[in-house]
Structure 1
Amino acid sequence: MAITKQHEYYEKRLEALLKDMPFFVEKYVDDKLDIRSPLTLFNYVRDYKEFFQWLMAEGIVKCESTKLFPVELLETLSLDDANNYFKYIARKKYKISKKDDETKQIDAKTVNRHKSSLRSLFKYLTVESEISEGKPYFERNVMAKIPIKKVSETFNERASKITEKIFIDDADIEFLDYIQNEYEASLSPTQMKYFKRDKERDFAILSLFLGTGIRVNELSNLRLKDIDFTSKEIRVIRKGGKKDTVSITPSSLQDLNNYLTVRNERYKASDSENEYIFVKFYKGESKHLTNRAIEDIVYKYTRSFDKRMSPHKLRHTYATNLAEQTGGDIPLIMNQLGHTQSDISLLYINTTREKQRKAAELLDQRRNRKTE
């Protein structure tokens, strides 16, 4: 299995987080590390920390720190207390933007993730572990009584949500044109300095998302050896460390090449084939551009053009356009996006229904003109 930069990054973050965790969580992670990704385990352990802190803050558990949290108290945790914790999670709100006070409530899927992570820990402690004479830490599993309410949505509803959050029609082309020709007019002299330095790099990132449909982690892990200019393809590392080959549009390949012509000089980067493609200049040397940095780049430019969008929304935009241009070729869409299930690819065909509706209205105008 290929080890990605993201894998290493979350391994380190997980290791740091575990320093504040009780011994039984450390044992859980050690036993699960070959089954679950460091990212998943990091999110799980972060949930456990919040859970322990809530129990301590509410006075349900008397303990000086999460590190000293006693495992035996989880056996006697009441169902009411467990339910109250998930009510607390469900009612939490978070700020949408740092610039204003607008907030949003945690969605049901996030609540379900908290439930799943704790159910996994409690199952481990009550069923999967052995500490003495073949017995687990304890036997009563209160989390087994906590239902996970499936978030039910129709296919059309899921597709509609995608359509509302992506570029439709030719908006993706207009977006790239805006970055090339209009964006700098809104910048201060200081902002202009950095924009001119990073313009080719940032534009290549945006163009690559819209010209390949790859994920942010797949883009950040691209190395120089992964580009094949002849076949117009790039090699990526999919989820689970699987290697794959993805087609790239000629225009996006040209945008990438434009960046590569200035990459070494502008960022003091090496042209060794194993070097990461997307880098930054930091403290006098070239550094790998992280997932977070790439996400911030996408947020910045999309917010300036229309609405704040994530790299995943650019991936959705590409997938929707691909579905339309290929007449809904499901195997092709699955291969290009790295999907393992066809129903995910079908969502992008559904997003074209808005265009179908508009087309029907245009066709009907012919009839209206005839009757006038």
Structure 2
Amino acid sequence: MIRDSFYDYLLLVKRYSLHTLNAYKTDLLQFQEYCDNSYNLTDDTRVTYPIVRSWLASLVDSGLSARSINRKLSSLKVYFRYLLKEGFISENPLLRATSLGMPSRLPVFVSRNEMASVLHESNGKISFNERRDMLIVEILYCTGIRLSELINLRLNDLDHAAATIKVTGKRNKQRIIPVTPSLIALIDEYIGLRSGIVSPGVSEIIVTDQGKKAYPVFIYRKVSRALEAAGVKGRRSPHVLRHTFATHMLNEGADLNAIKELLGHSSLAATQVYTHISIEKLKSIYKLAHPRA
């Protein structure tokens, strides 16, 4: 039922990544299987809103989280908008479909004191691996870039004269992020050690012990171990450092629009969640300090 031309559209026109494409395939094939098993329906032009509503109800009954259900619904909406745009259908059966309400969840971040422990400089000479592991945390915290953006960060993306790095984000959108002289010095020191390790043809800054391009699990483990060693509780991931960057910037008075640009968010709504963290911080200070609180 799901048309292969839709996947070509996502890959070639929308320029979605293979990871995103596979997520769409998983969601849509699940819907296709439901239509086939429950309604003996194999024609996407005959899908109706009651069928979609029935599918969503089955997902709720299965115990799936609201976040996961909304993602599947979003995939389905994109697919039927495509069918309408291409003239396969004359009416979109998902116009009345609405996302499930979700409890608000504030981003997890590391406190300033904890980050000071994480970034504590070791005394004496350190190895290539130790320098690289420290640099991974430094870059993520000092720039707020995503895990995937760090993995793809190349040597020529660093501009020493301008003290900036060029980051390629989602959908190949590029942005320029300022970096501190101390971070540039750390990168240069690391690159000097990297030259004796790196495999031929590898231009990415962060490499594995064998000198190859880093991969997501590799970066995740390095960050998790660094945060754990400093006594950080709860979630310990590269994305936590991204949240920490944004939260600390906002708490120090950075403009919300500036943080949006640094994070590479497409809309301000995605950035505004960090204002809630600051409000929660003010509430805790108020409760501790005010006599009537």
TM-score normalised by the shorter chain: which range applies?
0.7 to 0.9
Structure 1 residues 25 and 300: CA distance shift in structure 2, 3 A: farther
Counterpart residue type for residue 323 of structure 1:
L
Q: Does 1:42 align with 2:22?
A: yes
Output the CA distance in 1 between the equivalents of 2:78 and 2:101.
20
Correspondence 1:342-361 to 2 at 5 A:
342-360=268-286
Aligned to 1:329: 255
Q: Does 1:83 align with 2:63?
A: no
Q: Does 1:31 align with 2:1?
A: no
Instruction: Determine if contact 2:165/2:176 at 8 Å carries over to the other structure.
Output: yes
Percent sequence identity over aligned pairs: 25
Q: Does 1:214 align with 2:194?
A: no
Aligned to 1:279: 207
Structure 1 residues 354 and 170: CA distance shift in structure 2, 3 A: farther
Q: Deviations over 1:92-116 (max 9, x none)?
A: 5xxxxxxxxxxxx643232112112
Pick one of 315, 318, 332 that aligns with 2:245: 318
Detail structure 1 runs of 4+ shifted over 6 Å in the superposition. none
In the alignment of these two chains, the number of paired residues is 286
Output the CA distance in 1 between the equivalents of 2:287 and 2:76.
51
Report how far residue 233 of structure 1 moved. 1.7
Output the CA distance in 2 between the equivalents of 1:228 and 1:330.
25
Secondary structure of 1:144's counterpart equals coil
Q: Does 1:120 align with 2:78?
A: yes
Output the CA distance in 2 between the equivalents of 1:246 and 1:108.
35
Pick one of 263, 268, 282 that aligns with 2:198: 268
Report how far residue 60 of structure 1 moved. 4.7
Aligned to 1:151: 101
Q: Deviations over 1:156-191 (max 9, x none)?
A: x55xx12xx2112422222333x959xxxxxxxxxx
Instruction: Determine if contact 1:29/1:41 at 8 Å carries over to the other structure.
Output: yes
Counterpart residue type for residue 213 of structure 2:
H
Output the CA distance in 2 between the equivalents of 1:276 and 1:206.
16
Counterpart residue type for residue 168 of structure 1:
S
Structure 1 residues 46 and 245: CA distance shift in structure 2, 3 A: same
Instruction: Determine if contact 2:206/2:214 at 8 Å carries over to the other structure.
Output: yes
Identify the structure with bigger relative contact order (alpha carbons < 8 Å, sequence gap 6+). 2
Secondary structure of 1:207's counterpart equals helix
Report how far residue 26 of structure 1 moved. 1.2
Output the CA distance in 2 between the equivalents of 1:361 and 1:112.
36
Output the CA distance in 1 between the equivalents of 2:60 and 2:145.
32
Report how far residue 210 of structure 1 moved. 0.7
Output the CA distance in 2 between the equivalents of 1:180 and 1:207.
14
Structure 1 residues 123 and 226: CA distance shift in structure 2, 3 A: closer
Report how far residue 268 of structure 1 moved. 3.2
Q: Does 1:307 align with 2:250?
A: no
Instruction: Determine if contact 1:211/1:248 at 8 Å carries over to the other structure.
Output: yes
The normalised TM-score by structure 1 is 0.64
Counterpart residue type for residue 71 of structure 2:
R
Instruction: Determine if contact 2:128/2:190 at 8 Å carries over to the other structure.
Output: no
Report how far residue 322 of structure 1 moved. 1.0
The normalised TM-score by structure 2 is 0.79
Structure 1 residues 335 and 31: CA distance shift in structure 2, 3 A: closer
Instruction: Determine if contact 2:227/2:236 at 8 Å carries over to the other structure.
Output: yes
Q: Deviations over 1:127-168 (max 9, x none)?
A: 3335xxxxx3x6676x42662235366xxx55xx12xx2112
Pick one of 189, 200, 223 that aligns with 1:298: 223
Aligned to 2:265: 339
Aligned to 2:163: 232
Output the CA distance in 1 between the equivalents of 2:246 and 2:223.
17
Output the CA distance in 2 between the equivalents of 1:176 and 1:90.
43
Gaps of 5+ in 2: none
Instruction: Determine if contact 2:66/2:102 at 8 Å carries over to the other structure.
Output: no
Structure 1 residues 198 and 123: CA distance shift in structure 2, 3 A: same
Output the CA distance in 2 between the equivalents of 1:232 and 1:313.
25
Report how far residue 314 of structure 1 moved. 0.9
Report how far residue 209 of structure 1 moved. 0.8
Q: Does 1:247 align with 2:178?
A: yes
- RMSD between aligned alpha carbons? 3.5
